[in-house]
Structure 1
Amino acid sequence: MPIRNSILLGTLGRYADRFHEYQKSRSLAERLEIAKRIPRTHGVEPVYPQDLGHHGEHVQTVKDSGLAISAVNVNLKGEDIFRNGSFTNPDAAIRRRSVDYLKTAMDMAADFGADMLSVCPLIDGWDYAFQVEYDKQWQWLAECFREATAYRPDVRISIEYKAYEVRNRIVLPNMGRTLHFCDVVGADNLGVTMDVGHALIAGETPAAEICIAHAAGRLFYIHFNDNDRGADWDMLPASVNFWETLEALYYVRKLGWDGWAAYDVFTRSGDNAEAVAATFEIMENLDKLIDRIGFDTLKGLSQEGIPARAFNSMIGALL
């Protein structure tokens, strides 16, 4: 595979929803040690500040693991100060703190030898009509990212869009608006994390979004997972949307994209480390399936635009 596998460290620890807690709580050192033992692991994605500490207290722990860092994930939703938003909070002091989080994470990414951080502004949005001032939210968001991208042009900021959750509606809900926002900010080091699960719940076709982001020069990062398009379940890749996942991987190869891919997969039952290992194997097997069908065959079928022939060839390869 041309892409490199990265583990979101949060997938190896405790997971909770509104009703239950799943998996055991593990320290950063424990999760790093587990990651090192999972075959096909090329790197990890630690979270700032939850993993790394507000002042970098745990940076050395990550360095000591010897694992490469795909990106530093900036979490701007979990702490109580962000209850009313981060980059779009009406309180200018909270917006300032949000930008400071990005700047600190950029310094940490550079210190790790990485050139990217990923941020998902899930708390920036609204739940009800007339709850927020949309024009000001957009202005504040752009101002924050202009300042952050200018701070370190050598470090890329990759925005992970999502349609909803934590808010019922999020400012950057889909690929189109996120790419538009990148153009509004106007910084070359601002791009997009294409999360397959987020594309699915937004009603998008993951492969198509990969193509337009790549054409714009802003496809910085990919997260693979799956769901039923009704909610972001973070399931094993291809466990529901098999063909869409295969198509997304096909276009990653066709475009020659060679960046990092992380796997946002959470399991409620069984061992979460085993689920990550299975995820890597699934992606490797999907890549082999593309070769079994024939890369040129798939390319020819898409050019001919004959769905019946395409599906017959693909199903035949599975037999």
Structure 2
Amino acid sequence: MSYKNSILLGTIGAYNDRFHQFQKPRTFEERLEIAKTIPRTDGVEPVYPQDLGHKGEGVKALKASGLAVSAVNVNVKTEAPFINGSFTNPDPEVRAKAVQYVKTSMDLAADLDAWMITVCPLIDGWDYAFQVDHIAQWNWMKECFTEICAYRSDVKVSIEYKAYESRNHIILPSMGRTLHFCNCVGADNLGVTMDVGHALIAGECPAAELAIAHDAGKLFYVHFNDNDRGADWDMLPASVHIWETLETLYYMRKVGFDGWLAYDVFTRSGDNVEAIDATFEIMEDLDKLLDKIGEDKIKEAIASGVPAQGYRSLIKALL
């Protein structure tokens, strides 16, 4: 493994859906202390402002923990002002507020020696036909990120795309459109967070999307989890799509990705701390599976182009 493991701190706190609360609430300080006890933890991904505070009140505790920071996750979706959008809100004052959230997060990321923020514009999009002005939305989005990227060229701005949720349709739903958006903005410090689960619900092949993001020079950050492609269930990696997960890890090796991996893994049953510990172990074992199959067998399977030959060879290598 050449990558580094990061814990999304929200995964070891309370988790709510529309019907229930799963897991018990924990303070930011409690989650930091727990993160330090989980083997294979290289760092954490805190959320601004929920973890770090609007004025960075949580930075002192984070620095005192001794934990590295992979990126600062900017939340511009759950607070009341953003109910009708953040970067695409028709109100310019709300758009300015969203931009300021990102700028503050960039300053905090620099202070924490992370030098990267990740933002998922989940509230930006639409639910119905003729609900929004698509031309205006796209232009507002470009204006916001042009200003953001120009604010600090030394901090990477990584966009995490998603097809739907909170909106039925999110303005950046896929790798292709997100890379096009990055190209439109034209900033060297603007790139992509590829969430494997988000790629799956978008009907994408995660390994292929990772490869083209790398080719574009825009693969900044990767989140791992799994789902059934029906919804973003944030399940343990490879619990459903073991071959797709292995293929993604293989292409991470192939392109030489040595950055941070973070894990959106939220568990409804059992202990959520144990789930993160298991996630790290699963990822390590998946790497070992790739080693056991071997580079030659993988290349043979790809070169044959025939699934019957390829999978027979891959599976025999695991026996």
Judge conservation of contact 1:289–1:317 (CA < 8 Å) in 2: no
What is the aligned-residue RMSD (CA, Å)? 0.7
Structure 1 residue 315: Cα displacement: 1.6
Size of the aligned set, in residue pairs, is 319
- Distance (Å, rounded) in 2 between the aligned partners of 1:161 and 1:199: 8
For the residue of structure 2 that corresponds to 1:275, the secondary structure is helix
- Distance (Å, rounded) in 1 between the aligned partners of 2:26 and 2:132: 38
- Determine the structure 2 residue equivalent to 1:262: 262
The residue identity in structure 1 corresponding to 2:289 is L
For the residue of structure 2 that corresponds to 1:131, the secondary structure is coil
Judge conservation of contact 1:109–1:115 (CA < 8 Å) in 2: yes
- Distance (Å, rounded) in 1 between the aligned partners of 2:82 and 2:299: 46
Structure 1 residue 302: Cα displacement: 1.0
Percent identity of equivalent pairs:
71
For the residue of structure 1 that corresponds to 2:308, the secondary structure is helix
The residue identity in structure 2 corresponding to 1:160 is E
- Determine the structure 1 residue equivalent to 2:141: 141
- Distance (Å, rounded) in 1 between the aligned partners of 2:317 and 2:294: 9
1:218 and 2:218 are equivalent in the alignment: yes
- Determine the structure 2 residue equivalent to 1:85: 85
For the residue of structure 2 that corresponds to 1:154, the secondary structure is coil
Q: Deviation digits for residues 121-144 of structure 1, max 9, x if unmatched?
A: 000001111111000000000000
Judge conservation of contact 2:46–2:71 (CA < 8 Å) in 1: yes
Residues 1-319 of structure 1: matches in 2 within 5 Å?
1-319=1-319
The residue identity in structure 2 corresponding to 1:287 is D
Q: TM-score, normalised by structure 1?
A: 0.99
For the residue of structure 2 that corresponds to 1:247, the secondary structure is helix
Judge conservation of contact 2:223–2:264 (CA < 8 Å) in 1: yes
Structure 1 residue 300: Cα displacement: 3.1
Q: Deviation digits for residues 131-166 of structure 1, max 9, x if unmatched?
A: 110000000000000000000000000000000000
- Distance (Å, rounded) in 2 between the aligned partners of 1:49 and 1:34: 20
Q: Deviation digits for residues 92-133 of structure 1, max 9, x if unmatched?
A: 000001100010000000000111000000000011111110
Gaps of 5+ in 2: none
Structure 1 residue 23: Cα displacement: 0.2
For the residue of structure 1 that corresponds to 2:292, the secondary structure is helix
- Distance (Å, rounded) in 2 between the aligned partners of 1:206 and 1:158: 17
- Distance (Å, rounded) in 1 between the aligned partners of 2:200 and 2:125: 19
The residue identity in structure 2 corresponding to 1:89 is N
For the residue of structure 2 that corresponds to 1:5, the secondary structure is strand
Judge conservation of contact 2:300–2:310 (CA < 8 Å) in 1: no
The residue identity in structure 2 corresponding to 1:158 is S
Structure 1 residue 313: Cα displacement: 2.1
Q: Deviation digits for residues 1-41 of structure 1, max 9, x if unmatched?
A: 11110000000000000010000000011101111111110
- Distance (Å, rounded) in 2 between the aligned partners of 1:258 and 1:277: 21
- Distance (Å, rounded) in 2 between the aligned partners of 1:257 and 1:249: 10
Structure 1 residue 303: Cα displacement: 2.4
- Distance (Å, rounded) in 2 between the aligned partners of 1:296 and 1:7: 33
Structure 1 residue 308: Cα displacement: 1.8
- Distance (Å, rounded) in 1 between the aligned partners of 2:50 and 2:78: 9
- Distance (Å, rounded) in 2 between the aligned partners of 1:297 and 1:306: 13
Structure 1 residue 306: Cα displacement: 2.8
For the residue of structure 2 that corresponds to 1:44, the secondary structure is strand
- Distance (Å, rounded) in 2 between the aligned partners of 1:281 and 1:306: 32
For the residue of structure 2 that corresponds to 1:262, the secondary structure is strand
Gaps of 5+ in 1: none
